[in-house]
Structure 1
């Protein structure tokens, strides 16, 4: 059965796009080479990463969304969007394996006049280079003449109640002006504003800049957190005051590490490395170690050793009120605490099971009871369900890595 759109890759990039398209009345199929997410979605179950809730998935299915593992379906769509994952490889460059695999599958079934869009984070030049070559070689068609080709960076704020798909401007850049307009016509059905870049390379670099901007600024406040603790300065009050400046400042806040799917890219192909981004990565990567150091120091100051201490970790996801644990610093923090001999347990309303080093971590059923029993409670993520005022009263010792507790109620990062 023909469809208007095929979303290729049913992970954290693809599913929200498919959700927005279905809600806009676009006849949408979702394709993935892995049959597991396809089966889960078809059964109305939430994917492992929790990118969508069960009610959201069921509304999509009721709206006509069809998950499939049949590549033949790709030959019957007007628009195909590649949303394959591109994790960092061992050389800290983006691994394009999933993108190239998806491109080959699509190329074998590509029809004339199809609009092909790429949303995966990729190095600048990928769309008009690797992707174009694979699509033209596999289909016998020519990009810009027989089919449209463009890039549009994914701009997701998972769980946000204010920055939905429709209200977030969509940047795009096509191989030719006609490609750009074809992409704009498609995205114009889903979003209130379309922003045309000069070409695919500029659109690809937008994603690079946006992701690195976040990581560099988080690294700055993480370094400030360490410095302010040494100076006896309340950084959270500093940020509160600084963000009243109406120009030249944007508030970022420190934390136990940087999670999420948007990874900083400090090496772009054969080009020179981005030294500031590389340094920011080093700063952010050492934050879990700093949290453990602060935890051990707090225990020592209260006459206890980390060895044998009962430590409760609160909130192990990378973002509040979501089950997604991609890049969460909780795993490294737990491992380091265990290496010190601590007995680690956790509480998270969104994560029923957690394993570290293939071993299950005990999950606390009663939050207040667990906090009262623990020698140290460490807040890693401030889920909306946590009553932090009440928690600060019950906990023997509380380390707040998010600055979310009332002033004076806990030891802050």
Structure 2
């Protein structure tokens, strides 16, 4: 069966798009750009294959589709900026096969201006075609929230910004097959900046509540009760909750080194959020000392090492840094996570607890880093010698909260 769509990049952004496309009845090719991994289960992948998804390693097939969406990862590079090397490789591969009237859409997280200043020249030089005249070019920020049971591709609006009005309409026609609502931006730069704002909004607000967690602990105030009360306000407030750090695939961008401008609020938010693993270590060491124990040689059990509950994805999870810092203090670290059968920190395997309750009873300190649904937190609070809850998920008074 010929494919209508090629998804280039089968990671966190690409696989969910391909899944949504085949669910909408669109025959879809999947083309890898590098060593990628998504959050879909083997069962979900099998259903995709049976519904019309076909992975390929043959770049020639990219020239046979009507729409190509580049979802290549853009991790943080050595200079702190976004690494566009996989986007570049995807663009060069596509450009050599690009046919007239194809719609090309970029979904990878990028700085404003990337579609026009970086992607467009690559596609035009490699194809001999002109964007906006011979083929359509647009940007759409990816809005993937793995594990969210309330919002998926159908009821999450898609923002589209095309190089020309015709580019916007062509991209909108494609996304209109996947979602109930398409929002048209003025152009690619506006659409790219939507992604910038949405990602930074999350990080800044998490940083605020993380700072509040530290302050409230020092003041002896129950932050979790403060949040419970504050979120009853029907306007001007959205509840965020603190944690041991910020994981996930959305990298905060302060534009340093890109445009010569710095978003100071984002820069400060990164500093606050990056400090949270160390704050967890400080709280852990203090708890142990208060109970007559030292972090050195203490048995510490980490519960939940993924960045999000009920998923296996470990991208950016603060658990790695927390485990490393505990090891540097001389603690004996083990972990339990129903979604992670084996875990390594800096190449070293971390022992996995087979029996959760026995491990919690044996550990000098248990730290809840992620609240998977399978955890009986009331039962754990009874079994554990000491329990530090970094997510505020345990019943009030059942554990020491962040």
Do they fold alike, i.e. is TM over 0.5? yes
Structure 1 CA distance, aligned partners of 2:116 and 2:290? 59
Residue in structure 1 matched with residue 283 of structure 2 by the alignment: 294
Residue in structure 2 matched with residue 356 of structure 1 by the alignment: 345
User: Residues 14-62 of structure 1, C-alpha deviation per residue, up to 9 Å, x if partnerless?
Assistant: 000000000000010000134x76xxxxxxxxx5x4x101111101000
User: Residues 65-93 of structure 1, C-alpha deviation per residue, up to 9 Å, x if partnerless?
Assistant: 10011101101000000000011112221
User: Residues 251-274 of structure 1, C-alpha deviation per residue, up to 9 Å, x if partnerless?
Assistant: 000000000000100125123111
Give the direction of change, closer, same or farther, for the CA distance of 1:78–1:95 in structure 2 (3 Å limit): same
Contact 1:377 1:397 in 2 (8 A): yes
Residue in structure 1 matched with residue 307 of structure 2 by the alignment: 318
Residue in structure 1 matched with residue 99 of structure 2 by the alignment: 111
What is the deviation of 1:2? 3.1
Structure 1 CA distance, aligned partners of 2:208 and 2:346? 31
User: Do residues 251 (structure 1) and 239 (structure 2) align?
Assistant: yes
Residue in structure 2 matched with residue 393 of structure 1 by the alignment: 382
User: Residues 346-399 of structure 1, C-alpha deviation per residue, up to 9 Å, x if partnerless?
Assistant: 000000000112111000001001000000000000000000000000000000
* Range 261-270 or range 359-368, more displaced: 261-270
Residue in structure 2 matched with residue 131 of structure 1 by the alignment: 119
Structure 2 counterpart SS, 1:3: coil
Contact 1:92 1:266 in 2 (8 A): no
Equivalent of 2:173 in 161, 174, 185? 185
User: Do residues 25 (structure 1) and 14 (structure 2) align?
Assistant: no
Equivalent of 2:399 in 387, 410, 413? 410
Structure 1 CA distance, aligned partners of 2:260 and 2:65? 37
User: Do residues 158 (structure 1) and 114 (structure 2) align?
Assistant: no
Residue in structure 2 matched with residue 60 of structure 1 by the alignment: 48
May I ask how many residue pairs the two structures share in their alignment? 401
Contact 1:153 1:171 in 2 (8 A): yes
Contact 1:92 1:265 in 2 (8 A): no
Residue in structure 2 matched with residue 242 of structure 1 by the alignment: 230
Structure 2 CA distance, aligned partners of 1:6 and 1:64? 12
User: Residues 113-171 of structure 1, C-alpha deviation per residue, up to 9 Å, x if partnerless?
Assistant: 00000000111111111101000000000000000000000001101111111110000
Unaligned runs of 5+ in 2: none
TM-score, normalised relative to structure 1: 0.96
Structure 2 CA distance, aligned partners of 1:135 and 1:33? 16
